[in-house]
């Protein structure tokens, strides 16, 4: 008696676990950049998002207005400066 052949999995069922495993080293390296609450990933992501969302060239009428853009860039500058300050404090202690 021959056993039934195994069913062929759907494409998403095979790719997803492999894809998640491939990101594990990236997540581990990124975790190494976090020190006592200082996170180097946030400023990089924040700047990229603001570059995209504050330019009419990319979003047209959906882009943030001038006042909102100024406020958002000012907040991003504060986050970046505080992040740099925290990293400097952590590196000297």
Domain ranges in the chain are 11-92
Start-to-end C-alpha separation, the chain:
72
Q: What's the rounded Cα separation, in Å, for the pair 38 and 90?
A: 9
Tell me the per-residue pLDDT of 16-28, one tens digit each, with 9 for 90 and over: 555 555 555 555 5
Mean pLDDT (the chain) is 75
* Predicted TM-score (pTM) of this structure: 0.56
Residue 71: pLDDT band with limits 50, 70, 90 = very high
Could you tell me what percent of the chain has a pLDDT over 90?
A: 27
- Asked if pLDDT for residue 48 goes beyond 70, the answer is yes
| Cβ proximity of 40 and 86 under 8 Å | no
Residue 76's contacts (CB-CB under 8 Å, 6 or more residues apart) are 43, 46, 47, 50
Bridge partners of residue 38, in order along the sequence: 35
Q: What is the mean pLDDT of residues 21-41?
A: 56
Token pair listed for 84: 């740099």
């Amino acid at each position: 008696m021959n056993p039934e052949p195994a069913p062929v999995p759907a494409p998403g069922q095979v790719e997803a676990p492999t894809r998640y495993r491939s990101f594990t080293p990236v997540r581990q390296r990124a975790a190494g950049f976090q020190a006592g609450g200082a996170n180097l990933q946030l400023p990089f992501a924040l700047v990229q998002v603001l570059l995209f969302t504050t330019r009419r060239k990319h979003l047209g009428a959906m882009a943030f207005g001038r006042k909102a853009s100024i406020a958002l860039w000012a907040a991003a500058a504060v986050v970046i400066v505080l992040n740099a300050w925290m990293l400097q404090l952590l590196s000297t202690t």
